[in-house]
Amino acid sequence: MRRPDGGCPVCAMLSANLVFAVSLGYVALLFFVAYLGDKRARAGQLGLFQSPLIYTLSISVYCTSWTFYGAVGSAVRSGMEFITIYTGPTIVFIGFWFLLRKLVRIGRVHRITSIADLISSRYGKGESLAVLVTLIAIVGSTPYIALQLKAVTTSFQVISGGGFADPDQPVFADPDYTMAFWIAAGMAVFTIVFGTRNIDANERHHGVVAAIALEALVKLFALIAVGLFVVFYLADGPSEIFSMAPPGLLNTEEVFGPRWITLTFLAATAVICLPRQFQVTVVENADERHLYTASWMFPLYLLLISLFVLPIAIGGLTFLPETANPDMFVLTLPMAMNQDLLALIAFLGGFSSATSMVIVACIALSTMVSNHVVMPLALRLPWVEMKASGDVRRLLLISRRTSICLVLLLGFVYFRLSAKSDALAAIGLIAFVGVAQFLPSLIGGLYWRQASAKGAFAGLLAGFLIWLYTLFLPSFEGAFLIPLSVIENGPWGISFLRPEALFGLEGMDPLVHALFWSLCLNTLIFVIVSLIFDPKPLERLQGALFIDVFRTPADNEARFIRRYAASNDLFVVAQRILGTESAYRVFSEFAQNQGVAGHLPRADDEFIGHLERELAGSVGAATARAMILQVVKGETISLDELMKIVDETQQVIDYSRQLEVKSHQLQQTARQLREANERLKQLDVQKDDFLSQVSHELRTPMTSIRSFAQILLDTPDMDEKETKRFTGIILEESQRLTRLLDEILDLARLEGEQIDWELHEIDASEALERAIATCQGLAAQSNVTLEFRDEAKGTIIEADDDRLRQVFLNLITNAIKYNSSPAPKVTVLSAIENGRYCVSVEDNGAGIRAEDRERIFQKFSRGWRQSKDGRSGTGLGLAISWQIMQRLRGDLELLPQEDGTGARFKISLPCKERAAAE
């Protein structure tokens, strides 16, 4: 381990002139690279200049001096928290790749020039929304730009002034405003030279992007160099450096706390919503496939650049005096060890991070200001004449250049106003919360059709105002607009409205607090207002084009809008914006496509749409539309009408969908009808069967009655004995007929009856005993031993007394009648089984054959066993009994024959009250 000589921190101090000269040299290199990039682009030989690598490196403009210097400072102050700034974007690039792809696709198809342009285009190309987004972007970016100025100035002071050597005189007591001013001026010049070379804001700035990619490499190289120096020169490798870490530094207690989550979310949002990120990721994207590379390469870059943050922080805390500013460790560590070259490299790294951010931010912001503020104003002012060719171009260039200066000036002013605050990271986060306000309308615009311009405007405005009040203005600590007393006690002493504890939400981290209120209200108002006010036709159309960007081609718009214009008029407009040469090119190319001779194409819908997008690439969608509308005559079908048509189409679609549903229902009904019909047919067949069975059953006794009656009639001299016999048969047959009719009617009633029977509580044993008593006579007559064992005495069941007895009678008489055993015996047994009252009737006859068991309960099934008196029954008894048991909520079943003899029938019923003797 090495320490500064003599233990006293004597700092290597580089001469201001040397540092200045090196910086100038570096800037000259940047100029050269940018120049080369532009030259190659003009010659159409981009090669490496338009590669996924350059694209990815340009996205790393995300890592500003805040990350370069500030990450170490943040690690010293708040431990591992700095990691969130890298994890947020990593999550977006890896997990939300589809969102970025949609943005890039929309950017390319609709020739989007900035995030303000995207939001305003999506919501019907309105100007006020674009102005609001521009305003938020500027106010949000200003602290960020100030931060870069501050970082460069401070680092310059440190490297040329031997910074921390004297603890009594803090470095930041007196920031060098003059230097900051000249740095800002220098950046303005660079941006103007390479950022506004071309007015087509949508055309890529190859030169600038190349320079920024170089800067990305320099800052990465510088940070890794310092890191390696700390780990392998000051210490003997990673394990030693981490062993020196003070206990608080690696503290991970905070991980996944509210602040941690808020910061990750903020960083994720920022990498999408920051105007400069939008510029490099969407506007400067030349090929959608580059995004694919960036999705893994950019997270890798972030990993590399964050790798040495902790070692450098530990090194600074270990080797530098306590007064040293942690935000400058990256620079002061090599200085303390007398490593001039390394210190210079570190300085250049920080310088690169700052300049690249400022340059891209200025390009993005100046495009917004000139396209959405200056141009719409100029178009309205009667005294701004824009008749000649290229007038608009000139105006645009002037306004863009002025905006660049203005944006930098604002940054400078903020720098002066907030110079007292020492922490770099805090300022960066303020900007993050500001631009996070774009998120609801941006995401809503990409996925929610109902999202409307009014909703987006109201939401953005609310979020912006809350951000101003709760975070931005308090950051001046009383120096600007809000006095300290208001910050501490609330306006007019109302503590409920205190900026940092709004609506009584106390004890929260100010950042989490501000993000919570601003984004919640922003989203809520956006959603509610969108739901209340329907989007206008153009908004709806644009919304559909944006949401379905992967499905609908951009010129779909032309299909909807009927517009006519004179080609000449259009040419004049194009000429004013694009300049004669480009306008001529655009027109003749299109004329060629249409197959029209000359350079003027037919000014049909398609061409007007194409031209509008072409112009939007320079002046933004809102202005382009305004300018085209000046010469477009008679939109023969108004958008409202169009929308009506669209609505009607929608209605037709809805109607056909309803029809579809109906026809589906009809199909179902038809199926049900078919099934019912089938059932009816079956029933009909059953009825026929039944009728034929009944008539057959009736005919047999009728026939014998008729024939015996006939015989009696025809034979008047028949002897008395014979006459008696014949009359006996007639009587018997008519009794049988009556019984048969009774049973048929009974069964028909049982089957047809819909109403439930009225059941009464009865004593089951009593009913059974009576039935057995009735059968005693028959049993004695047939020499059958009838045995009765009542093991469920006193059981109360719910039943219909007569009907239950009818079942008992039927079972017992069958058992007596069909018992062919020489020593016939019938056993009736009642018992409680599984909580149910059961009665089984068993005989020792021949039983029921296996093949008959299935149909035994069907109507008219009988006669497989001869009854003892030789007379067959009706075959209805068991069918009736089964029906009765169903209606009594009970069961009747034929139990399996155990040893091959005898039939065993069993009924069971739910018990009301158990027998006490169970």
Site of interaction with ligand ADP (CB under 6 A)? 810, 814-815, 818, 843, 845, 848, 856, 861-865, 872-879, 903
Which two structure tokens, joined as six digits, stand for 56?
């990815």
Q: How far is the CB of 777 from ligand ADP (least distance, A)?
A: 18
* DSSP per-residue letters across 805-855: HHHHHHHHHHHHHT---SS-EEEEEEEEETTEEEEEEEE-S----HHHHTT
- Gyration radius from the chain CA atoms: 49
Q: Are 570 and 614 in contact (CB under 8 A)?
A: no
Q: Which residue is nearest to ligand ADP (CB)?
A: 873
3-state secondary structure of 528: helix
Tokens of 115: 């995030």
Q: Give the DSSP letter of residue 856.
A: T
Residue 313's Cβ-count burial label (10 Å; 0-12, 13-18, 19+) is buried
Report the sign of the C-alpha dihedral through residues 375, 370, 267, 55, in that order.
Answer: positive
Q: Name the minimum Å distance from CB 699 to ligand ADP.
A: 17
Q: Which is nearer to ligand ADP, 596 or 829 (CB)?
A: 829
Q: Which is nearer to ligand ADP, 798 or 893 (CB)?
A: 893
In the complex with ligand ADP, the residue whose CB is nearer, 837 or 860, is 860
Minimum Å gap between C-beta 905 and ligand ADP is: 7
Inter-CA distances, 787 with 7, 15, 73, 606, 824, Å: 120, 129, 105, 104, 11
- What is the nearest approach in angstroms of ligand ADP to the Cβ of residue 847? 6
| Local structure of residue 564 (DSSP, 8 states) | E
Question: What is the smallest separation between the CB atom of 823 and ligand ADP, expressed in angstroms?
Answer: 16
Separation of alpha carbons 515 and 432, rounded Å:
9
**What is the rounded CA–CA span in Å between residue 800 and residue 762?**
8
Q: Which two tokens stand for residue 758?
A: 């009225």
Q: Which is nearer to ligand ADP, 7 or 777 (CB)?
A: 777
Which one, of 248, 236, 256, 280, lies nearest residue 104 by Cα? 280
C-alpha–C-alpha distance, residues 561 and 566, integer Å: 16
Nearer to ligand ADP, 874 or 883 (CB): 874
Whole-number Å distance between alpha carbons of 738 and 722: 24
Q: Which CB sits closer to ligand ADP, 691 or 895?
A: 895
Q: Which is nearer to ligand ADP, 539 or 843 (CB)?
A: 843
384, 378 Cβ separation under 8 angstroms: yes
Q: Which is closer to ligand ADP, CB of 402 or CB of 820?
A: 820
Which lies closer to ligand ADP via its Cβ, residue 327 or residue 743? Answer: 743
User: Residue 128: CB partners within 8 Å, gap ≥ 6?
Assistant: 457
Whether 36 contacts 27, CB under 8 Å: no
Residue 622 to residues 131, 268, 320, 490, 616, Cα–Cα distance (Å): 10, 29, 55, 40, 8
- In the complex, the smallest distance separating the C-beta of residue 705 from ligand ADP, rounded to whole angstroms, is 20
CA distance 395 to 393: 5
* Six-digit token string for 627: 């300018």
Minimum CB distance to ligand ADP, residue 915 (Å)? 27
CB 909, min distance to ligand ADP, A: 20
Whether the Cβ atoms of residue 434 and residue 459 lie closer than 8 Å to each other: no
* Closest distance of CB 697 from ligand ADP, Å: 11
Residue 450: its H or E element: none
Q: Which is nearer to ligand ADP, 573 or 744 (CB)?
A: 744
Looking at beta carbons only, is 148 or 874 nearer to ligand ADP? 874
In whole angstroms, the minimum distance from the beta carbon of 818 to ligand ADP comes to: 4
CB of 880 to ligand ADP, least distance (A): 8
Q: Which is nearer to ligand ADP, 594 or 686 (CB)?
A: 686
Considering the complex, state which of residue 205 and residue 904 has its C-beta at the smaller distance from ligand ADP.
Answer: 904
User: Nearest distance from residue 856's CB to ligand ADP, in Å?
Assistant: 6
Angle (nearest 5°) at CA 757 between 754 and 759: 165
- Closer CB to ligand ADP, 177 or 864, in the complex: 864
The angle subtended at Cα 846 by Cα 892 and Cα 772, nearest 5°, is: 50
Whole-angstrom distance, CA of residue 741 vs CA of residue 371:
102
Q: 624 vs 903, which CB is nearer to ligand ADP?
A: 903
- Rounded to a whole number of angstroms, the minimum distance from the CB of residue 774 to ligand ADP is 16
Q: For residue 889, what are its two tokens?
A: 């909520």
Paired tokens of 848: 């029921």
Q: How far apart are CA 409 and CA 21, in angstroms?
A: 25
Query: Looking at the DSSP assignment, which residues form a beta bridge with residue 908?
Result: 838, 891
CA 31/CA 37 separation, integer angstroms: 10
Helices (H) and strands (E) in the chain, counts: 36, 9
